[in-house]
Amino acid sequence: MRRLIHSLSFLNEHGGNILNGYLITNDDRIEELSGGVCPHDTAFFDEVIDGTNRLLLPGFVNTHGHAAMSLLRGFADDLPLQSWLSDLIWPAEDLLTPDDIYLGTQLAMLEMIETGTTTFTDMYFHMDRVADAVIESGMRAVLGRGLVAVGDGGDKSLAESEAFIRDYHLAGNGRVHTNLAPHAPYTCSADYLKKVMNVADKLQLPIQIHVSESKSEVEDSYKQYGVSPIKWLADLGVFHFPVVAAHCVHISDEDINLLQKHRVHVAHNPGSNLKLGSGIAPLIAMLDAGIQVGIGTDGASSNNKLDMFDEMRLAALIHKGHNLQATAIDAQTALGLVTEQGAKTLFLDAELGKLTPGSPADFQLVDISGPRYYPRHSLLSHAVYSSHGGDVTDVFVAGNPLLRNREHVTLDKEKILSAASRNGAKFQPIKDRYESQNKR
C-alpha cells in the first residue's frame, strides 16, 4: 500500500524546520520524504492524508518497562525501592493472572500509542499473553520473561522463557523480538545467571537486567561480594553477551569503564529513578565514554506515566541542572535518545527510529496548531521542551495506522478501560493491610 501525507512539517538532518513537505510510504517502509509539494499525481496513492499543522516525528522507542504494571498505577507511591517492591508490588503481582497480564499490557499500549511510542521493551511474566497483546495491537516490542532465582521456581521460569522465545521470536511479521531477562544481581545467584547465559548462548539472544538502581543495592553488593554489581556481572561473564542494563544510577568510574569495555547498552529511566528516590544516573559521563544509551519509562507503577515526551524533556533538563551545564543534553541529543539511539540500545534494526528512505515506516504526527508551537523559531526545540503526548494525533507502525485522528485503530479503548477499572479492586486488601501495619 502506498500512502502520501502532504503539507506536513518535519525536521531536517540538522534539526532545522521544514515547514511544508510530504512523506510517501510503501507498505512497511518509508519511500520518500522531501520538502515542497509532492510532484506525483494523487491517483498514484492508495491513501492521501492532509498533514497541515502536523509535525512528523519518528515513533518513540521505550527501552525499559513492565507494561502490565499499568494495573498498579497509583497503588504504591512515595516509597523507597525496596519497601515499594517487597511490601506492596511483589504481593500484588502474586495475584496477577495471565488474563490480567494481557489486560495490563493492553492498557499500557493504549497510553504508549496515544503518546507516540511505537516500540517498547518489557520484562515480566506470562509473556505469551504480552506477545499476543502486542501482535494484536500492531506495535513493536522486545520481550523477555522476567527471571528470579527463588527455590526451584527459577528453573521453571527459565524453561518458560526458552519456550516463549522459540514460540514468539520474530512473530507478528517480525515486530516481536525476544531476549533473556534475569531481574537483577540481587535476585539472581551466580549459578542461576550461568544457566541464563547458557540459554542466551544457545539461542544467540541478548540479555536485559536491572543493575545498580539504588544506593542500597550497590552497598549490599560490596558487603556480599566485595565489588559493585557491574563488576560482579562482568567477572561472572554476563557482559560477554549483548546486554541492556536498566538504570545504572549508582555507578563509579570503574563501572563506566567496564560498561564501555564490554559494550553494554544502558536504559536510562529518569522519571522512575527520581520518583523512587533512587537518584540521577550519570548520563553525561556514560555518553562521553561512548556507551550506547536509550531512555525508558520503567513501569507505570513507579513512574505513573508512559509518556516518552515527558521522559525526553526530563532527561534534557535534569542533566543540565545536575551538571550545572545548559549544553549538557541539547534538544537534538534528547530526541535521538528516544528514537534512533533507543532502537540501537535494544539491538534492533539500525534504520529504526529514522525518517529516511528505506527505514521502517514507524512514525507519529504531532498537532502543532496550539500556542506552544508559536512562533516557530525551532520545531525541534518545541518538540523537546514544549510538547507533550496529548499532542499526538496519528501513529503508524510498519506503515499501518494504530492511531488516526486520536482514535485507536487496533485497540478497543472503552472495553480496556472498563476492564481495567474493575480489575483494580483485587489489589485493595494488600494496600489496606500495609497501611494498617504502618500507621503511626
pLDDT at 79 (0 to 100): 86
Q: C-alpha angle 199/224/212, rounded to 5°?
A: 65
68-90: average pLDDT: 90
pTM higher than 0.75? yes
Exposure of 326 by Cβ count < 10 A (0-12 exposed, 13-18 middle, 19+ buried)?
A: exposed
Indicate the average pLDDT of the chain.
96
Helix, strand, coil shares, percent, the chain, to 5: 45, 20, 35
What percentage of the chain has pLDDT greater than the value 70? 100
Is the per-residue pLDDT at 153 higher than 90?
Answer: no
**What CATH number labels 2-58+358-413?**
2.30.40.10
142-151: average pLDDT: 91
pLDDT at 439 (0 to 100): 73
* Structural fold of domain 60-345: TIM Barrel (3.20.20)
pLDDT at 76 (0 to 100): 87
331-346: average pLDDT: 98
C-alpha–C-alpha distance, residues 8 and 5, integer Å: 7
Residue 425 pLDDT level (bands cut at 50, 70, 90):
confident
pLDDT at 357 (0 to 100): 97
The per-residue pLDDT for range 25-57, each reduced to its tens digit, is 999 999 999 999 999 999 999 999 999 999 999
pLDDT at 405 (0 to 100): 98
Task: Walk across the sheet containing 207-211 and list its strands.
Answer: 207-211, 243-247, 265-268, 293-295
Q: Where in the chain is CATH 2.30.40.10?
A: 2-58+358-413
C-alpha–C-alpha distance, residues 93 and 166, integer Å: 25
Instruction: Check if the beta carbon of residue 345 is closer than 8 Å to that of residue 63.
Output: yes
Q: Where in the chain is CATH 3.20.20.140?
A: 60-345
Residue 243 CB partners (closer than 8 Å, separation 6+) = 206, 207, 208, 209, 233, 262, 264, 265
What letter represents residue 216's amino acid?
A: S
**Under the phi-then-psi rule, with left for phi > 0, alpha for psi from -120 to 50, and beta for the rest, what region is 150?**
beta
C-alpha–C-alpha distance, residues 121 and 246, integer Å: 11
Residue 133 CB partners (closer than 8 Å, separation 6+) = 102, 105, 106, 109
170-181: average pLDDT: 98
What single string gives the DSSP state of each residue in 82-142? HHIIIIIIHHHHTT--HHHHHHHHHHHHHHHHHTTEEEEEEEES-HHHHHHHHHHHT-EEE
Residues in the chain: 440
